[in-house]
Structure 1
Amino acid sequence: MRLKELIEKHYWQEVQPILLSLYSDQDRNIKSYRLVFEKIKNLQVEESNHEILIRNITESGETYVHVNAISLSEKEIDGELMTYSLILTPWNEWAGMSINAESLSTFPEKEIIVHCLWEMTFCGFDEEDVKKVSDEINDDCKNLGK
């Protein structure tokens, strides 16, 4: 199931309380999250050779939810999946990515939506803000070699 299809199955009124429960410090941004939620429903999806992977990670006794992508075309290295950050991924690509089967069996659908919304808005609640951060990082990387 793609992220957009998952979002289309649910109403914001069902998702909002879960977002506030999992990310209680985000109440000040709740209207922005709703706008992103609704925007995804109207996006033209872009096909992707990655899928969204959501896992519980425990490090130093602390457990947190980690959202990233795995390639559908690359092989595992030493038995580990190659994972990629999705923070700067265009939203139409997010919308077109399928959700990893293990993630769908581990997390309730509404929690998956919430974790994806939080991750995709990490750099801003507007796609232009996300693109600006991406461009700045790319420029910084180019300048490193000079």
Structure 2
Amino acid sequence: MTLHQLIKTNAWPKVSVKLLELYPKSKANLLDYKLVYEELGKMKPQQSDFTLIISKEIDDDEEFIDVSGLHNQPKTEEEKYPQALEFCPWSDWLGMAVSKDSLNTYSELDIIAFCLYEMTFISFLEADIEQAKNTMKSVGKTDEVKEFVTLEEVLNVLNEK
């Protein structure tokens, strides 16, 4: 099942309740989330070589949900590890299959809320996300900003600011 299929079969009112339950501070931007959700429902998904992985992680004794992508057919050693998806076009997100483990562990509404939160972590506008990606590339913080980067790469760049 892809993220697009989950979005198409779950109405915004139920998603918004789950989003507020999981991320109470999202209430201030609920209209922005709704607009993005509606836009996602109209978008055509792009076929993807990634599977969405949702996992519970612990860092500094704090539990959090990690949303990442895993190459289905890795070509390099780096591609064998989960990749951060913050700079990924939303149409690519939509075409990603959700891992069976994630589907077995979390409800469809949980998965949608986790992904929606992660997709909009940088901005509620794809143009702003693209600009942030280009800014990172232009200031030389990374050798290359790809569609998919490791979570470690994103955190290193953010920690340098």
Give deviations 1:74-127, integer Å, cap 9, x for gaps: 2796xxx51100001000000111111110101111010000000000110011
> Aligned equivalents of 2:75 and 2:67: distance in 1?
19
Deviation at 1:59, TM superposition (A): 2.8
> Aligned equivalents of 1:87 and 1:30: distance in 2?
19
Q: Contact 1:2–1:98 at 8 Å: present in 2 too?
A: yes
The residue number in structure 2 matching 1:36 is 36
Tell me, yes or no, if structure 1 residue 6 matches structure 2 residue 2: no
The residue number in structure 2 matching 1:123 is 122
> Aligned equivalents of 2:44 and 2:86: distance in 1?
19
> Aligned equivalents of 2:55 and 2:142: distance in 1?
35
**Which amino acid counterpart does residue 61 of structure 2 have in structure 1?**
G
**Which amino acid counterpart does residue 15 of structure 2 have in structure 1?**
V
Deviation at 1:44, TM superposition (A): 1.4
List gaps (5 residues or longer) in structure 1. none
Q: TM-score, normalised by structure 2?
A: 0.82
Quickly say closer, same or farther: Cα 1:87–1:143, change in 2 above 3 A. Answer: closer
Percentage of identical aligned residues: 30
Q: Contact 2:56–2:64 at 8 Å: present in 1 too?
A: yes
Deviation at 1:136, TM superposition (A): 0.5
Number of residue pairs the alignment of both structures matches: 141
For the aligned residues, what is the CA RMSD?
1.9
Residues 85-124 of structure 1 aligned to structure 2 (within 5 Å): 85-124=84-123
Q: Contact 2:52–2:67 at 8 Å: present in 1 too?
A: yes
Q: Contact 2:136–2:142 at 8 Å: present in 1 too?
A: no
Quickly say closer, same or farther: Cα 1:126–1:74, change in 2 above 3 A. Answer: same
The residue number in structure 2 matching 1:68 is 68
List gaps (5 residues or longer) in structure 2. 144-161
The residue number in structure 1 matching 2:17 is 17
> Aligned equivalents of 2:88 and 2:28: distance in 1?
24
Deviation at 1:143, TM superposition (A): 8.5
Q: Contact 1:76–1:82 at 8 Å: present in 2 too?
A: no
Q: Contact 1:75–1:82 at 8 Å: present in 2 too?
A: no
Quickly say closer, same or farther: Cα 1:75–1:128, change in 2 above 3 A. Answer: closer
**Which amino acid counterpart does residue 40 of structure 2 have in structure 1?**
I
> Aligned equivalents of 1:8 and 1:143: distance in 2?
36
> Aligned equivalents of 1:68 and 1:83: distance in 2?
6
Q: Contact 2:51–2:99 at 8 Å: present in 1 too?
A: yes
Q: TM-score, normalised by structure 1?
A: 0.90
